[in-house]
Structures are given as C-alpha cells and as structure tokens.
Amino acid sequence: MPYTPQAEAKRSVRVPLLDLQAQYAPLREVLLDAVTRVCDSQRFIMGSEIEALERELASYLDVRHTIGVSSGTDALLMSLMALEIGAGDEVITSTYSFFASAGSIVRAGARPVLVDVEPDTCNLDPSAVEAAVTPRTRAIVPVHLFGQSADLDPILTTARRHGLAVVEDAAQAIGARYKGRRVGGIGDVGCFSFFPSKNLGGFGDAGLVTTSDDRWAARLRMLRNHGMEPKYYHQIVGGNFRLDALQAAVLRAKLPHLDAWTDGRRRNAERYHMLFASSPAASRVSLPTARAASFHVYHQFVIQVDDRDGLRRHLEACDIGTEVYYPVPLHQQPCFAGLGCPPGEFPHAERAAARSLALPIYSELTEIQQAWVVESISEYYR
C-alpha cells in the first residue's frame, strides 16, 4: 500500500479475533460486585447463586429444568450417563465439531458413529443421520455449529421412528432459535457451555444441562453430585460435575446483556455481507448461510476460501486475528483411528476443514475494524 495518512491510520487498526476486555470494561463494577457477594458469603459450593442462575436460564431458554454443571463437556457426558447410554451402544454425531461432541460419547463407554455435514451450514446432515442408524443406535447428538441450529425436524423424525434420544450440543448456540423455539429445549436434553469465549462466558469453566423431563432432571441433579441422595447415600455412580457459585454469580451478572451482544453479532454479520458484496474479492469468499427458519447467534462467522492458510498469514500480518474451526475433522483425529473411517469418507467435512476461516464477529467490533478486515481480504485476492 502506498504511504498516505489514511493508509497509515488503517495500518494501526488491530482486530483481535475476540476482545473480552471490551466486554468486561463497561461491566467491571457489576461483575466485581457479584464476585464480592460470593466471597462475602463464603458459600462456594451449590446454594442460592446456582439456584437463581438456574431459574433465570430456565426462563431465558424457555425450558422446564436447568442444571448448572462444571463444563459443556461434562454436560454432554452427564446427559449420556443420565440416559444410561454406555457399552455396546452407538451414538450418532457430526464429524465436524469440537472434540467434546464425540469425546464424551467415548467417555460414556459408547461408540461414536460419525457422519458428514451439510456443505453450506456445516451442520449435521439429516439424511446421513437416518442412513447411520443401526439396531445398536441409542441417541443422536446434533451440534448447533457456529451458533446456528442444526435442521432438527428431520433429525427428530428419525429419532422418533427408531426410538432414539436427542441430545442437543448447544455449546455454541445459546439464544439461537429453530422455527421460533430456543435450541437446547427442543430435543430430549440440551447441553450448553459457558467457557469464557462462548457467547455467554464465565470467568472459567462452567456449563448447563436442560431438559423438560422430570425424571431425567432428577437423575442429572443426582449425577452432578456423586449420585448422592440423601447425603452419603449413593443411589447411582455420578461425579463431581457441580457449577461453582462464583461462576454462577458472574453468569447472572452477564445474562441480562446476552441479547444485546447477540444483536451486535448479528448486526456485524450483516455488515460483513454488505462489505463483501461490494468487494473485488466477492467471488473468492463464500460467506456463511443462515437458514430462513433459524435465528443464528453467530458464535463464529466462518468464511470458506481457497488458499486459506495463505490468507490467514496475510491477515496476521495485518494485525487481524482469525482461527480455523476445525483443521481436522473428528474421523481423522489420531484417537479415533480405531473407528476405521478412511480419508475421503466425509467429503463435506474434509472440504470445510481445508477451507474454513473464522473472522472476528464479537459484538464490540467497530465499523472501522470490519472495513479493515474486508479490505485486507480483498487485497490478498486482488
């Protein structure tokens, strides 16, 4: 770029992939008050903060039961444990997801049956799910990838036809909707993560399980605390899957802002679409598709491009943070070599893994920063 004062000003724009400081700064006092309240109470395990958060989330997610837990990964594991899924059982999930979606199936003692995704949304392909059902199948774990609901209706139809449970992995999709309904409350059980970089993030690890079934809710509450009820009488073998009171207090302080943050992410996604429409690189970049029936919460804004790694290096040199979700589909992970899925088995997932790049999308992103991102991408493909 030739030297001009405008070019120089742009060169000084930094765009991190995620800027948690920008979210924290205006809420600092409220958050520190919440932490102080817990410290002053000296009640760190279970108690009123957790109960209050569970009530507030039940109302937000429009679901009967919410069980605060230690992480999104543990939420998935506990859900399978509550459904008594284990040795000899098969569970169908997406090969294009964060590791925990399939890892928790193995930890429960069952066999993950990985299937391919839709090429545009990168969500579980319902026809591939139907084709993967065997007499051993017990459950389906649809992942609402990048903040958009999987196409749940045909998946629920398959589940009902074969008597399978549906455990939604909604870790990336709090607040997202499918045909008007909040995800996590549509299948039998829903799993959420409050990992700090998720759309609603704690100050450490935390998660949530949701269900409308009273018996499963009771089982999940027991599993969370060593299957213990009453104290020191163990009905089932559970674990320590409890949510910390400190995390609950932080999440309660943040929850009232979640919808505004989601609006910001959606506005930024729209702005990327506008900026790319008039970019000379428009034909080189495929933008994420949002289904008409879904309310996308843009946990990530993932584009697909040729020469992804070259673009990523160029953007790094422009001080623009990006990430690859995910570079290796689950069927190609070393730990799943035993599943016997050869390369080429799931072409849509493999193509997405080679071409995906997540751009900054967080709510506090400015117009200037977004313009710089699109301009830098355009420059690379010029």
Site of interaction with ligand PLP (CB under 6 A)? 71-73, 97-98, 100-101, 143, 169, 171-172, 193, 195, 205, 207
Distances (CA, A) of 346 to 125, 126, 325: 11, 14, 16
Smallest separation, CB 72 to ligand PLP (Å) = 2
Smallest separation, CB 207 to ligand PLP (Å) = 5
Q: Which of 56, 326, 60, 269 is nearest to 184 (CA)?
A: 60
Nearer to ligand PLP, 147 or 275 (CB): 147
Smallest separation, CB 73 to ligand PLP (Å) = 3
Q: Enter the tokens of residue 319.
A: 């001080």
CA angle 78, 82, 87 (to 5 degrees): 90
Nearer to ligand PLP, 73 or 268 (CB): 73
Nearer to ligand PLP, 17 or 228 (CB): 17
Neighbour-count burial for 13-30, b at 16+ CB within 10 Å, e otherwise: bebeebbeeebeeeeeee
Smallest separation, CB 22 to ligand PLP (Å) = 21
Distances (CA, A) of 68 to 16, 50, 76, 326, 379: 30, 7, 12, 27, 46
Smallest separation, CB 115 to ligand PLP (Å) = 15
Closest-by-Cβ residue to ligand PLP is 72
For residues 1 and 8, give the distance between their C-alpha atoms in angstroms, rounded to a whole number.
9
For residues 259 and 262, give the distance between their C-alpha atoms in angstroms, rounded to a whole number.
5
Nearer to ligand PLP, 124 or 132 (CB): 124
Smallest separation, CB 194 to ligand PLP (Å) = 7
Nearer to ligand PLP, 169 or 279 (CB): 169
Nearer to ligand PLP, 23 or 101 (CB): 101
Q: Residue 168's CB: how many other CB atoms inside 10 A?
A: 29
Smallest separation, CB 241 to ligand PLP (Å) = 11
In contact, 140 and 118? CB cutoff 8 Å? no
Nearer to ligand PLP, 324 or 371 (CB): 324
For residues 227 and 221, give the distance between their C-alpha atoms in angstroms, rounded to a whole number.
8
For residues 375 and 382, give the distance between their C-alpha atoms in angstroms, rounded to a whole number.
10
Nearer to ligand PLP, 92 or 311 (CB): 92
Q: For the chain, give the longest Cα–Cα distance.
A: 74
Smallest separation, CB 165 to ligand PLP (Å) = 17
